[in-house]
Amino acid sequence: MRIAVCVKHVPEGSARIDPVSKRLDRSGEGALNHFDANAVEEALRLKGESDTEVVVLSMGPEKAADSLRKALAMGADRAVLVSDESAAGSDLLATSRVLAKALEREGADLVLFGQQASDADGAVLWAAVAERLRRPVVSQAAELSLQDGSLRVKRQTEFGYDVIEAPLPAVVAVSDAINEPRYPSLKGIMGAKRKPQEVLSLADLGLEASAAGEAGSGTKVLALADPPARGDARKIEDDGNAAQAILDFLVEKRLV
C-alpha cells in the first residue's frame, strides 16, 4: 500500500504581499504547514509496522525541500518536490492540476492533506485535487481507519460528528484534532538525509509551462490596496484604564 501526503512550505511569521508581483512574499524563512504535520503523523500512524510506503509530495520553490526533509525526519519514506519557475504564481486551479498529475504518477491508495494552509486558509485544494483524480474525498477528519480496501472517517462538524465510509483509493483532509505530530528525533533527522528525495519539473509530469503559473491560473490579482478607513473610529490603548475608556466612548455615543 502507498500513502501520499501533500504538504506545503509556508512563510514563518506575518504574511507579506509583494506589491510588484502581487503574490505572497516567500523570500524569507519558511516551515512545514502545521496542518500538514498532522497529515504526515496520521500517515505514519496508519503505516505502523506494515510494509506501507509513505511518500510526501510538495509543489514550490527549492527551499520547500526543507519542509519535505522534516517530514522525512518524522518517518516518511520518500519525498517528491515539483519545482519549476513556470509554476510560480499558480492559483488553486493550476496548483491542483500539477498536484493531481504528480499523484497520478505515484498511484497512491490514499492521499492525505492537512485541512488548510496557514498562508491562505482556503481549505479547498484537497477537494480540487480529488475532483481531478475522480476520487471520493472526506474533509475535517478527526479519526481515520483503514480496513478491507475502504476507509472509515469520523468527520468533525459544527454540530457534532459524521461517520463516513468510502472505498479506496480516496482523498482525506485531516483536522489538527486528529493527532499530535511527533518531533523528529536526532536519528530521524540524520536518517532523512539518506532517504530518496526527487525533484520534478512540469515537463517531467507531461505538463506544458502554460498549464501552471499565471498562464495556467483562472484568477488574476488586478490591484492591492489598504482597507478603507472606518470613519469615526477611536483606538484605545490598554494602559489599565481601557474598560473605563470604552464605557466613556459608549456613553458619548449614547449606546449605554
Tell whether 64 is covered by a domain.
yes
Q: Which range, of 26-35, 151-160, 178-187, averages the lowest pLDDT?
A: 26-35
192 pLDDT higher than 90: yes
Percentage of the chain modeled with pLDDT above 90: 69
Residue 28: closest CA among 41, 12, 43: 12
In a domain, 166, yes or no: yes
For residue 184, give the DSSP letter: P
Residue 142: count of CB within 10 angstroms of its CB: 17
pTM: predicted TM-score of the whole model, two decimal places: 0.85
With respect to residue 20, please indicate whether it lies within any of the assigned structural domains. yes
Q: CA-CA distances (angstroms) from residue 256 to 50, 196, 237, 252, 253?
A: 65, 66, 21, 9, 8
Grid cell locating 252: 458619548
> pLDDT digits over 94-125, tens only?
999 999 999 999 999 999 999 998 887 888 99
Q: What does DSSP assign to residue 229?
A: P
**246 is a domain residue:** no
Domain-located, residue 12: yes
Number of structural domains the chain divides into:
1
CATH of the domain at 142: 3.40.50.620
Q: Is there a domain that residue 172 lies in?
A: yes
Q: Supply the range of the domain harboring residue 20.
A: 2-211
Residue 24 scores a pLDDT above 80:
no
Residue 113 falls inside a structural domain: yes
Among the residue ranges 28-37, 76-85, 116-125, 181-190, the one predicted with the least confidence is: 116-125
In a domain, 30, yes or no: yes
